Copies of this chain bind each other. A is one copy, B any other.
Amino acid sequence: MGIIRKTKSVTTVLQIFEEKQEAKSVVNLIEIVKDKMNKTTVYRILDRLEQDGIIHSFNGKDGLKWYAKCKGCSASHHSDKHPHFQCTECNKVECLSVEIKIPSIKNHIVDSTDILLTGQCEVCSA
């Protein structure tokens, strides 16, 4: 169980994800809202939003934690298996809608698949 009360801080963070479809690093989010709330609050809100299947997280190439909006997830079922793309020039991170087939690994049970591609995004490769 994640979000129970719709506080001002929760609304602020949610709006950031609503208005743009791109992923945000926690560090960047903290910077954006630093006049409105404490960094601990940002971490806690992101935690709760993720638990509720509203956003999902992954690690960037830099080792930072990134979050982006989910498309068809709920608190009980997280279905975000898509890869992510981090631009090495502008550092923007996107969720990719491509399907990547993982072959079954002999004698192993695969629970999760994290795929991070890096390179140049549409803007930077043009």
Contacts and interface: CB of A to CB of B under 8 A. Distances in A.
Interface of A: 59, 61, 63, 65, 83, 85, 88, 96, 98, 100-103, 105, 107-122, 125-126
A115 B118 contact: no
Contact of A101 (B63, B101, B107, B117): B101
26 contacts: A59-B59, A59-B63, A63-B63, A63-B65, A85-B108, A85-B110, A98-B105, A100-B100, A100-B103, A105-B117, A107-B122, A107-B125, A108-B119, A108-B121, A108-B122, A108-B125, A109-B119, A109-B120, A111-B119, A112-B117, A112-B119, A113-B115, A113-B116, A114-B115, A114-B116, A115-B116
A116 B115 CA distance: 7
Contacts of A125: 107-109
Contact of A117 (B102, B118, B126): B102
A60 to B, nearest CB: 9
